[in-house]
Amino acid sequence: MRLKTRIASVPYIIWMIVFIIVPLVIVCYYAFTTRDGTFTLDNVSNIGQYQHVFARSIWLAVLATAICLVVAFPLAYIISRLSGSRQRFAVMLIMLPMWINFLLRTYAWMSLLENNGLINRFFGLIGLGPFQMINTPGAVVLGMVYNFLPFMILPLYSVMTKIDDSVINAAQDLGANMWNVTARVIIPLSVPGITTGFTMVFVPSISTFAISQLLGGGNVYLIGDLIDLQFSGASYNPNLGSAMALVLMVIVLLLMSIATQFDNEEMEGMLI
């Protein structure tokens, strides 16, 4: 039995080696070498001059993740309380935009937010505007929220469907109002979904470059734009780009470990 398990795991091990370990080794090699292959720490030390870009990327990613959580939490709870057929229909509506190409969805927001776009035309009908919405940090955050909101809703929904109505009814019978039920019952039981949703929204938000390029118009520079710039154009520098990617990976892993630790502590508190 053990031999069969090992044989069955061979394809997965090969997949991990080829698509995870080998690319990571290549990134580490370029990050700590010069163009002629000499070992150096300059690539990592030079990232300090881009700390404002890293800070902006983290801030916008956290903001987009927080907005997704605020929007997704009540929506996921409402869906989880629907009947079976209605739940499936609501989930299909949430996933429907994901069937459209990512770039097409972002281009659609460009036409909506530009100075002569549909939103400014609507404001013009009532004597307002035009407002500068495109090429702003707000437009970038909006693009992140729109594109990654389903990744927050679905984990929350999958966890909330497992919350028995009897638990909520028991809390209400004991005198808890809706706010207390939400704070002391629903949120603690939804922590695994919150943690998963945080990871699934924050990671693509902090590393995106298509959204910032299309909706930011070059005015909102993020980490993904810097990395993309190092591998294309006249500023081609794969060594510095690899160092940036490595630092970004470390930041993401640290934040994910913090979120996982919070999840574990919350679950232990619930068990106690």
Q: Are 150 and 76 in contact (CB under 8 A)?
A: no
The CB-side HSE value for 64 (13 A sphere, CA atoms) comes to 33
Cα 78 to Cα 88: distance, rounded to the nearest angstrom: 13
Q: Which tokens hold the place of 193?
A: 């979904």
Going from the N-terminus, what domains does the chain have, and what CATH number goes with each? 50-271 (1.10.3720.10)
Structure tokens at 16: 């991990």
Q: 33 — phi, psi (to 5°)?
A: -135, 160
Compute the distance between CA of residue 251 and CA of residue 267 in angstroms, rounded to an integer: 25
CA-CA-CA-CA dihedral for 124, 128, 131, 133, to nearest 10 = -70
34, two tokens: 């010069």
Helix intervals (H) in the chain: 2-16, 22-31, 42-45, 51-80, 84-95, 102-113, 118-125, 137-160, 165-173, 178-181, 187-189, 191-207, 210-216, 223-230, 238-271
- Please state whether the peptide bond connecting residue 238 to the residue before it is cis, i.e. omega within 30 degrees of 0: no
Q: Helix crossing, 137-160 with 191-207: angle to 10°?
A: 150
SS3 (DSSP) at 33 = strand
pLDDT at res. 268:
52
Report residue 163 as tokens. 């919350």
- Write out pLDDT tens, residues 115-162: 888 899 988 888 887 888 999 999 999 999 999 999 999 999 999 999
Q: Which residues contact 240 (CB under 8 A, 6 or more apart)?
A: 43, 46, 47, 230
pLDDT of residue 263: 60
pLDDT tens per residue across span 13-40: 999 999 999 999 999 999 999 989 899 9
Q: How confident is the model at residue 271 (pLDDT cuts 50, 70, 90)?
A: very low
User: What pairs with residue 39 in β-bridges?
Assistant: 33
- Per residue in 92-114, pLDDT (tens digit) is 999 998 888 998 999 999 989 99
Chain segment 225-260, per-residue pLDDT in tens: 999 989 886 778 999 999 999 999 998 888 888 777
d(C-alpha 82, C-alpha 161), whole Å = 10
